Chain A
Amino acid sequence: MLRPEEELSKLIFEKRSANTASWLPSPGKEAEEVLKKIPKDLLREKEPEIPSLSELDVVRHFTNLSRKNFCVDTHFYPLGSCTMKYNPKSLDAFASFPGFADVHPYADEEDVQGALQLLHEMEIFLSEITGMDAFTLQPAAGAHGEFCGLLMAAAYHHSKGEKRTKVLIPDSAHGTNPASAALCGYEVVQIKTNPRGHVDPADLKSKTDASVACFMMTNPNTLGLFEEDILEISRLVHEKGGLLYYDGANMNALLGVCRPGDMGFDIVHLNLHKTFAVPHGSGGPGSGPVGVKKRLAPFLPVPRIRKEGDRYRWEHSAPSSIGKLRSFYGNFGAVVRSYAYIRALGKEGLRAVSENAILNANYLKKRLEDIFDEPFDGFCMHEFVLSAARYKKQGVKALDIAKRLLDFGVYAPTIYFPLIVEEALMVEPTETESKETLDRFVEILRAISREIQENPEKVQGAPYTTPVGRIDEVRAARQPNLRYHSK
């Protein structure tokens, strides 16, 4: 007999009952007639492996799986650069209203005026929040937004008769930035970070010329630091005819405080699933709206929403548009949640989001400064990066600390990112955590720090309380086995 935890970790395909037919309806006569019409060589030789389980067994299977999950609804989740804030359940309720949940993308414009109004207003809200002139809600998530933004940058330069071949990216950037640039056919050139943790203006200056299409950056950057030289950077890039691209991954620090558009950014993508309370992780759906300044608006993907009088309609023809990027108009359900979030919080509420996110991060940073190294001095924005390099002496790595945190019921911070910090731990508490939770996190890290001194093996062997311990990442990457099939 299997031990309970083994029984619980079976895949649903392994739970197939011996009597296959027991729960599945029999195909019946009509199916037999259909089968006769299908040529023999096109018929499958073996029956499909469909799990045959009762409703109760299926419910138990998925309920038990969900209980193994580590998520914002169950645990503190300080995963840096991901903004794993708590998403109010009311937003799900709004998105479930039949007028939103049951509309069909092929419905006649006249029948879905309310949904179109919401999308149109959302474009205006996001333009106002970021300081841009026009938005598309079409991209499905952040990297898709980057792809959209870079295609528009290319179209813009092309329209001016210019062929620009390079995209500049800081060495602290998210991996999606160079990936998106490469996908759009650009050569990626790295810009150094200076000892203060900011884009090095001298390095930027030396690499900015008429071959540069775009400089992609986040602000605050991935070290959680505000790029104070942003106006100078903007001047340098624009002077040579390049564009400035804003990766909105860190927008949670700026809501209602300052705007990328005012800093000189020409293209902005936002992640509704980070900043604007759309559930996030493990496949989404996310949403990556892209905003632009007026001179780039003709290149936005089609369709666009137009308001005429008090009616809304789709506009499909736009001669300079980069075209269509996704079916219909993006992930509508995600946009509804974010729309409700923005309406509920209002201008003051949004500002409070960022102020509290920054306050929480600085509180944690200060309270952890004696047990970790801080690669950069001073205040941070909504997140910060620590280095666990001092624990290498005991043979303990950032990875081990991250795993040990799971035993204490805390999700691990982002580790080994950004790449320019040794043994990096990147912490983003978000605005939705209480001081009590933050204090508990500090106490847990202090306990782990003591463990490293007294009993490093304990930390190296963690986690002990999770359904799965250390997975063999090396073997999984070297010999990937991506397909399940039974013996």
Chain B
Amino acid sequence: MDTSKLRYTETHEWVSLNGNLARVGITDHAQREISDVVFVELPKPGALLKQKQSAMIVESVKAAFDIYAPVSGKIVKINEELGKRPELVNQSPCEEGWLFEMECSDLKEANGLLTEEQYQKFKTQPTH
């Protein structure tokens, strides 16, 4: 998949923007780090979230991880397939393993997200 159009957060979510619709998932780097995903707790459609607020939980064999809303807005769609097949987050993090879609209430927030190049640079920095 061409990931060059995606935008990213420092908490390792990717965002694919289409107008004010934002599809969200976790990056390939993130799925590798958290290892095998065994359960996802998806957000409720209709939920209103502020940017950086915890939106949902991804649980792997290592631990449970919060996934944060990359922008403010309303959850409009969730990837229900993940209920049965959480492994899609590992197998196809940027396509079939997407998590949810939001109606972005402030496009300025989206423009402030990291670009592909910035994210690639960010993720190779040591954690500490």
Residues 80-92 of chain B, each 1 if its beta carbon lies under 8 Å from chain A, else 0: 0000001100000
Query: How many B residues face the partner with a CB closer than 8 A?
Result: 15
Most chain B C-beta atoms within 10 Å of own C-beta, residue among A195, A197, A474: A474
Residues of B close to A197: CB separation below 8 A: 128
Asked if A420 CB lies within 8 Å of chain B CBs, one says: yes
- A477 touching B61, Cβ below 8 Å: yes
Query: How many A residues face the partner with a CB closer than 8 A?
Result: 16
Most chain A C-beta atoms within 10 Å of own C-beta, residue among B39, B61, B63: B61
Asked if A421 CB lies within 8 Å of chain B CBs, one says: yes
Asked if B18 CB lies within 8 Å of chain A CBs, one says: no
Residues of A close to B126: CB separation below 8 A: 422
- A477 touching B128, Cβ below 8 Å: no
Asked if A375 CB lies within 8 Å of chain B CBs, one says: yes
Residues of B close to A422: CB separation below 8 A: 33, 126-127
Question: In residues 339-391 of chain A, which contact B (Cβ within 8 Å)?
Answer: 375-376
- A375 touching B127, Cβ below 8 Å: yes
Question: In residues 45-68 of chain B, which contact A (Cβ within 8 Å)?
Answer: 59, 61-65
A419 to B66 CA separation, bound complex (whole angstroms): 12
With A416-B63, A421-B127, A474-B61 given, name 16 new contacts (CB 8 A).
A175-B63, A197-B128, A375-B127, A375-B128, A376-B128, A420-B127, A420-B128, A422-B126, A422-B127, A474-B36, A474-B38, A477-B38, A477-B59, A477-B61, A478-B39, A478-B87
A175 to B63 CA separation, bound complex (whole angstroms): 9
Question: In residues 241-278 of chain A, which contact B (Cβ within 8 Å)?
Answer: none
Residues of B close to A195: CB separation below 8 A: 128
Residues 189-202 of chain A, each 1 if its beta carbon lies under 8 Å from chain B, else 0: 00001010100000
Question: How many contacts between A and B, using CB within 8 angstroms?
Answer: 34
Given A420-B128, A422-B127, A175 and B87 contact (CB-CB distance below 8 Å): no
A421 to B64 CA separation, bound complex (whole angstroms): 15
Asked if A32 CB lies within 8 Å of chain B CBs, one says: no
Question: In residues 400-444 of chain A, which contact B (Cβ within 8 Å)?
Answer: 416-417, 419-422
A376 to B128 CA separation, bound complex (whole angstroms): 8
Residues of A close to B59: CB separation below 8 A: 477
Binding site for B on A (CB under 8 A): 175, 193, 195, 197, 375-376, 416-417, 419-422, 473-474, 477-478
Binding site for A on B (CB under 8 A): 33, 36, 38-39, 59, 61-65, 86-87, 126-128
A175 to B62 CA separation, bound complex (whole angstroms): 12
Residues of B close to A420: CB separation below 8 A: 127-128
Chain A: minimal CB distance from B13 (Å): 16
- B86 touching A175, Cβ below 8 Å: no
Of all chain B residues, the one with the shortest Cβ separation from A417 is B63
Select B62's contact among A375, A376, A416, A478, beta carbons within 8 Å.
A416
Residues of B close to A473: CB separation below 8 A: 36, 61
A375 to B128 CA separation, bound complex (whole angstroms): 6
Select B63's contact among A193, A419, A421, A478, beta carbons within 8 Å.
A419
Secondary structure class of chain B's binding surface, majority of residues? loop
A420 to B63 CA separation, bound complex (whole angstroms): 12
Residues of A close to B127: CB separation below 8 A: 375, 420-422
Residues of B close to A175: CB separation below 8 A: 63-64
Residues of A close to B65: CB separation below 8 A: 419
What 7 A-B pairs have minimum CB-CB distances, sorted nearest first?
A477-B38, A474-B36, A473-B61, A416-B62, A375-B128, A478-B38, A422-B127
Chain A: minimal CB distance from B79 (Å): 17
Chain A: minimal CB distance from B2 (Å): 27
Of all chain A residues, the one with the shortest Cβ separation from B86 is A478
Of all chain B residues, the one with the shortest Cβ separation from A389 is B126
Chain A: minimal CB distance from B27 (Å): 15
- B39 touching A477, Cβ below 8 Å: yes
Most chain A C-beta atoms within 10 Å of own C-beta, residue among B33, B86, B87, B128: B128
Residues of B close to A478: CB separation below 8 A: 38-39, 86-87
Given A175-B63, A175-B64, A478-B87, A421 and B128 contact (CB-CB distance below 8 Å): yes
Of all chain B residues, the one with the shortest Cβ separation from A196 is B128
Chain B: minimal CB distance from A104 (Å): 42
Residues of A close to B87: CB separation below 8 A: 478
Residues of B close to A376: CB separation below 8 A: 128
A105 to B128 CA separation, bound complex (whole angstroms): 52
Chain B: minimal CB distance from A242 (Å): 21
A237 to B81 CA separation, bound complex (whole angstroms): 43
Chain B: minimal CB distance from A424 (Å): 10
Of all chain B residues, the one with the shortest Cβ separation from A194 is B128
A313 to B81 CA separation, bound complex (whole angstroms): 60
Chain B: minimal CB distance from A476 (Å): 9
Chain A: minimal CB distance from B97 (Å): 15
Of all chain B residues, the one with the shortest Cβ separation from A420 is B127
A195 to B126 CA separation, bound complex (whole angstroms): 11
Of all chain A residues, the one with the shortest Cβ separation from B33 is A422
A474 to B64 CA separation, bound complex (whole angstroms): 14
A193 to B87 CA separation, bound complex (whole angstroms): 31
Of all chain B residues, the one with the shortest Cβ separation from A421 is B127
Chain A: minimal CB distance from B122 (Å): 14
A217 to B63 CA separation, bound complex (whole angstroms): 20
A–B complex contacts, Cβ < 8 Å, 10 sampled: A175-B64, A416-B62, A416-B63, A419-B63, A421-B128, A474-B38, A477-B39, A478-B39, A478-B86, A478-B87
Of all chain A residues, the one with the shortest Cβ separation from B128 is A375
Residues of A close to B36: CB separation below 8 A: 473-474, 477
Residues of B close to A375: CB separation below 8 A: 127-128
A175 to B126 CA separation, bound complex (whole angstroms): 23
Chain A: minimal CB distance from B64 (Å): 7
A473 to B33 CA separation, bound complex (whole angstroms): 16
Chain A: minimal CB distance from B7 (Å): 22
